[in-house]
């Protein structure tokens, strides 16, 4: 549980430290928030090689993010993951 808190809680400057190391911060943000029915392929491809993918997914699950690709998963995929965990 401590890892989840570290990924979700901002540091003393109000910044989530893992976000500074994320690959998505260096790419087109629109790829991570495609239109309904749009392709998620490019965003997921970036996530595959991102060193903070786990932290990103933990954040999205903890904050119940409803939109976008987080940690390599779409909102639908995150919802399924949460249901399996229950």
CA gap 8, 70 in Å, rounded: 13
By three-state DSSP, how is residue 70 classified?
Answer: strand
Residue 12 annotated as binding?
Answer: no
Tokens in use for 40?
């998620």
Residue 7 annotated as binding?
Answer: no
Residue 50 annotated as binding?
Answer: yes
Residue 24 annotated as binding?
Answer: yes
**Between helices 41-48 and 53-62, what is the axis angle to 10°?**
120
Which residues are annotated binding-site positions? Answer: 24, 47, 50, 56
Which residues are annotated binding-site positions for [4Fe-4S] cluster? Answer: 24, 47, 50, 56
């Amino acid at each position: 549980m401590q890892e989840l808190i570290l990924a979700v809680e901002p540091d003393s400057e109000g910044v989530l430290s893992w976000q500074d190391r994320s690959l998505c911060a260096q790419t087109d943000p629109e790829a991570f928030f495609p239109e309904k029915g749009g392709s998620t392929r490019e965003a997921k491809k970036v996530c595959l090689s991102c060193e903070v993918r786990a932290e990103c997914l933990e954040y999205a699950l903890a904050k119940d993010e409803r939109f976008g690709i987080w940690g390599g998963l779409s909102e639908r995929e995150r919802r399924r993951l949460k249901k399996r965990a229950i």
